[in-house]
Structure formats: structure tokens, C-alpha cells
Amino acid sequence: MAKTKRSAKFDTSTARKKLARGKVHQEPLKDGQYLCYRKPESGAAGSWSARWRYEGQILQTKLGAADDHHASDGETILSYKEAQDKAKKWFQERTEQALEGEGITIQKGPYTVAQAVADYLREMKNKGRKSIATSESYAKTHIIPALGEIPLAKLNKRKLEDWLSSVAAKPRMKTGFGMSEVSETWAKKPTEDQLRARKNTANRILSILKAALNLALRNTKVSSHRAWIHVAPFESVVKSRVRFLSQEEAQRLVNACPPDFKSLVQGALLTGARYSELARLQVRDYNATAGTILIAESKSGKSRQIVLTDEGRSLLDGLCAGKVADAAVFQRDTWKRTLRKDLGSSWGHSDAATFMEVSCKAAKVGSVRFHELRHTYASMLVNAGCPLVYVAAQLGHADTRMVEKHYGHLAPNALADAVRKLMPDLGLVKRPKVAGLKIKTGGAS
């Protein structure tokens, strides 16, 4: 129980004798919460009660008689300290009942990492953050199993650094419907890029954990951030080597794909859309007149229109012909599902991974992830001289920063060609009447 609050008028029976008879006297314990003492007119022993002004209501309860004439027994006759402790217990119970009635879980016992992460994910959901699915997956896989039961008060820098190293050392798993295995290349010997990628992933998971712990600090669930403030992420791991297919490689890959997957790969190469965006695309989203497709829901949560080339329009014309408006544009029929039958003929999460692996081997283009088809689309636009702001709009980025980061090195030649072609001659400088020297090669005559 919390420390007893001293009171000059309530502390002893002698002090209470000085109080006016026939009145209720009160001592504030906390905002809106009072310990009350009623002194009767007759001079008999007074009585204790608790009063709480809560959301416009006055809640109160009897606690017991005061030890004015008889010694306290801790049950029916209470000293000032015992009355105060009993009042605080009642306030706590009523608080828990009120919060639980609103669907809020009351914290009992030490506040753990698992509870901190749960509170953080709940706040993300309430704020409508689009990355919550990824954060939940990382938390479930990497944070909760290793750290979940540890109270925040017992966290320290060493524990977190050891955990971060263990996350970076774990191989990436190939997952799918009923499948979970280590990738073949990691099982043999992880490459430098794979090790860098795992450290990069570990850094992202660390940022989720730190965000959860910082929220706990703001909510006064922990007194200090010294356990995690100096836990540093891995350095020099964010630079990604973005893979682009050449036009000839793209053609070989398309030719090596089974029919339904071939359409999906063509769609990625001709629109730059993400796998999930293509999987959700419906016939109604294609505007054949304008030559555009609507991405109704993107990673950022915003919609966008993608302008199609003539080749892209031809692909969509063929795929949408004869289908109803709410039908999926890209459908699969290569194999029947044994799980997730609710997806029907639609492409589900991670369905493309195995097809990409098999098709890349057949096309002899090396290991390419489906997302790198989006990179290929963007790189071809940049190399063709398309302004970066237009490339960003096609990809659904709010500005050109991501485009510059991944494709900026491709732009200098395209930029130079565009400037020299489009900038008019202002007539400000006279061309010098000097011919360049011609260096004569060959031996002496």
C-alpha cells in the first residue's frame, strides 16, 4: 500500500475531538478522491467513508467505525491509517472495474516487453499505420519469443545487444502454405549480401522494439531509457544492391514462365506495380479509354493512377476481355490450393516466390526476386530520360527521394541528353571562331 498521507485533523482520536459535531469532514487523497470522517451530534464514535467524484458522479462507500473510544481491530473499527488504506484499495478496485468495462486491460505484476509491444501495436492500429502487419510479424517471430517475458525494469544493454546479434545470425526462412525451411544458399554458406541483408532486417526489428519501449517510457511504465538508448544498430548495412534486368533478360524470363505467371510478370514489368497491388487489381480498375490502371490501395495507403504504354494496354485488353468488373485481372490456374481455398484463383501472399525461382533458373538470369521487376521498370524509365518526378508518380512515391536513392546513378546521361535537347539557345554567347586542333597520328614522313 502507498505511503499514508498525514493529516493534522484526522491522525489521532485527540485531533478528531476538536472537529465540529454533526458534520462530515474530508481529507483529499488524490484528485476527486477523499477520505471522509463523520462526527455525530451525540458524541459517539465517528465513522469513516470513502468518496469519489468520478465523471460527474459521486461514488461513496462506508469503511467502518473510527477508533475514537475503542482500539482498532482492522475490520470494523479502524484507525486513520487503516481507513486510508481501505479507501485507497476501494478506489483502485473501482478504477479497474471502470477501465475493464471500457475494454482496457489492467496491469498486474511487472510490465514486460511483450506488454510494451502489444501496447505499441495497439497504438499503431488506432492511428491507422499501414506497416502494422509487418511490425506484428517481426514482433511475433523475433521479439516476443526471446524477450517477451522480461520485465522492462530488468532489461539492460547487454541483453539487448546479444538479442540483436542473434537476430542477425538467423537465416532467412522460405515460407509458404505449410512450408518453412532455410534457403538453400544460406544452408550452404551465406553470401556477403545475405549477411548484410540480415543485419539490415535486424536493424528494422530493433527500431520496432525501441519504438515500443519509448512508448512505455512516455506512459510511465518504466522510469528510464538507459537500457536501450545506447544499443546501436549495425552500421554500413542499408546500402542495397538493387538488381535490374536488361531488356534481353526480361524477355528470356517472360518466355520461361508458365502462362498464368507469365501474365503477372509482364504486368510487373509494364506497370512497376508491387506484387500485392497486381494481385488485388480488378477489371474495373482498368480504364481502357485513358490507358491507365487504378491502384486503389498502395503501401502508403494512398491511391494512384499508373499510365500504361501501348504494350501495357495490349496486355490489359487481353486479360480483361470477357471478365466481370470485380474479377481479378491476374488469375492463377497452375495448381489447385489445398489451403486458403478462400483465395480461389487469386494470387496469394508469397505465391510468386517458387515460380520466380524456377523461372529464373530456366531463363538463366540469376536469382531475381519479384520485387526487382519493379526496379527493372523504374530503371528503364530513368534510362530513357523520363524525369524522376514522373517515375516517382508511377511508382507511388510521395517525392523523388527513393527514386534518387535507387536509380539516381542511372540518370546523369539521360539528364545530359534531355538538357541539351530541350534547353533553347539563348543567344547570349558568341561561338568562338577557333577550330579545334587536329592531332595527326602515324609515323614521321
Residue 203 is inside which H or E element, if any? helix 192-218
Taking a C-beta distance cutoff of 8 angstroms, is the pair 177, 337 a contact? yes
Question: Cell triple for residue 23?
Answer: 458534520
pLDDT for residue 176: 41
Q: Evaluate the CA torsion angle 200, 205, 209, 214 in order and state its sign.
A: positive
* Beta pairing, strands 77-78 & 57-66: parallel
In the block, which residue shows the cell 554458406? 189
**Per-block average pLDDT, block size 10, for the chain (445 residues)?**
78 90 90 91 92 81 93 92 92 75 61 93 82 87 94 93 92 48 55 83 94 91 90 78 84 92 94 92 94 85 88 93 91 59 65 88 90 90 84 83 69 63 74 61 49
192-196, Cβ contacts within 8 angstroms, sequence gap of 24 or more: 193/241, 195/168, 196/237
**Hey, what amino acid is at 304?**
R
Q: Is 62 helix (H, G, I), strand (E, B) or coil?
A: strand
Orientation angle between helical segments 388-395 and 371-383, nearest 10 degrees: 160
pLDDT for residue 313: 94
pTM (predicted TM-score): 0.54
Provide the H-helix boundaries in 43-143: 80-101, 113-126, 132-138
pLDDT for residue 30: 83
Phi/psi of residue 75, each to 5°? Answer: -120, -70
Q: Which domains does the chain have, with CATH numbers?
A: 13-101 (3.30.160), 113-218 (1.10.150), 247-422 (1.10.443.10)
Q: Is 180 helix (H, G, I), strand (E, B) or coil?
A: strand
Burial class (CB in 10 A: 0-12, 13-18, 19+), 71: exposed
Taking a C-beta distance cutoff of 8 angstroms, is the pair 47, 23 a contact? no
Residues forming beta bridges with residue 28, ordered by sequence position: 34
pLDDT for residue 128: 74
> What does the DSSP 8-state code read for residue 221?
S
Which is nearest to 378 in space by CA: 353, 410, 415, 352?
A: 410
Which is nearest to 267 in space by CA: 326, 198, 317?
A: 317
Taking a C-beta distance cutoff of 8 angstroms, is the pair 396, 304 a contact? yes
User: If you count them, how many residues does the chain have?
Assistant: 445
Dihedral over alpha carbons 96, 97, 102, 104 (to 10 degrees): 30
100 Cβ contact list (under 8 Å, min separation 6):
106
Taking a C-beta distance cutoff of 8 angstroms, is the pair 337, 346 a contact? no
